[in-house]
Copies of this chain bind each other. A is one copy, B any other.
Amino acid sequence: MLSHEQIWIAIDGIAKRNGLSPSGLAKRAGLDPTTFNRSKRVAPDGRPRWPSTESLAKILEATGETLEAFVAAVAGKKGASSRDSQSIPLITLSAVQGDGFFSPEGAPVGNDWGEMLFPGPKHKKAFALQITSNELSPLYRRGDTIVVAPHQPLRKGDRVVVKARKQGPSVQLLERRTADGLDLKSPDTDMEMQHIKHCDIEWTGRIIWASQ
């Protein structure tokens, strides 16, 4: 993964390793000296601003650094990307209907989580939920386990987990996205539709894998 913070740390690091200031590095690469100004790393409205890929290619070219060295600079500083963990947090879907299992951002918290072997480097912060009833059949049945990646961009047709205000996380099918919220269909046999407004949604996740 590649965060806004990481990439700017890496650029500062490359400059430093080559005995240059960020502005000196830009000049050396044939760019405008203000390209990497701290003042240009976030927009006036707070939106993060990213250097272009072409600028990155130019500073690698100018300093003779390899892409691997750049990546090491990205990973080496805080927020390293390579997680060595071979497993993800696991709990039952029924258990998390109570409070205290997720941070406000949808990350697992507390001591009640188990672990499930899921070795891929995929999807930092993914977690697994075990289905304990047949309410969601035929899609998911008692004993199935779903792997959820939180905060993924959602599209029509996606199978999602939605945590709405004052409700436990629930498994849903995303029927469509509207300006003010999501149209969701329950995967059970009834297929009831419901609309949830963005303001009532605490977090969402996409179901990326399901074990059978």
- Chain A positions within 8 Å of B, measured between CB atoms, are 1-4, 7, 27-30, 50-54, 56-58, 60-69, 71, 74-75, 81-82, 84-86, 117-124, 126, 138-139, 141, 147, 149, 152-153, 155, 157-159, 187, 206-212
Contacts of A117 in B (CB 8 A): 120-122
Choose among B27, B209, B212 the residue that contacts A119 (Cβ–Cβ < 8 A): B209
Determine if B122 and A64 form an interchain contact, defined as CB atoms under 8 angstroms apart: yes
Please tell me how many copies of the chain the complex holds: 2
Determine if B211 and A208 form an interchain contact, defined as CB atoms under 8 angstroms apart: yes
Determine if A75 and B68 form an interchain contact, defined as CB atoms under 8 angstroms apart: yes
What are 16 A-B interface contacts by the 8 Å CB criterion? Answer: A1-B57, A2-B53, A2-B57, A51-B53, A61-B152, A62-B153, A64-B123, A64-B149, A68-B71, A85-B122, A117-B121, A120-B209, A120-B211, A138-B138, A208-B212, A209-B211
Contacts of A60 in B (CB 8 A): 1-2
Contacts of A157 in B (CB 8 A): 141, 212
Given contacts A66-B82, A85-B121, A118-B121, 11 further A-B contacts (CB under 8 A): A7-B57, A50-B52, A50-B57, A64-B126, A65-B122, A68-B75, A85-B120, A138-B139, A139-B139, A207-B212, A209-B212
